[in-house]
Amino acid sequence: MFTDQYKQKQHIFSYNLKNRLESLYEVTVNDLSTRSKTEARR
C-alpha cells in the first residue's frame, strides 16, 4: 500500500517535472527564434 502510493507520487512528480522542462524548452526556443529574427531585421 505504502509503496504504491510512493510510486504514484514519484510518477506524478516526474510527469510534472517533464512538463515544466518541455514548456521551458519551448519558451527558450521561441525566445531565441524571435531574437534571431530581430537581429536579422537590423
Measure Cα distances from 12 to 7, 9, 26, 28 in Å. Answer: 9, 5, 21, 24
- Ramachandran angles phi, psi of 15, nearest 5°: -65, -45
Three-class SS of residue 40? helix
Count of CB atoms situated within 10 Å of the CB of 2: 6
Three-state secondary structure string covering 11-29:
HHHHHHHHHHHHHHHHHHH
Q: What is the pLDDT of residue 38?
A: 84
Written as one letter, the residue type at 1 is M
pLDDT tens sequence across 2-42:
789 989 999 999 999 999 999 999 999 999 999 988 888 87
Q: What is the pLDDT of residue 1?
A: 62
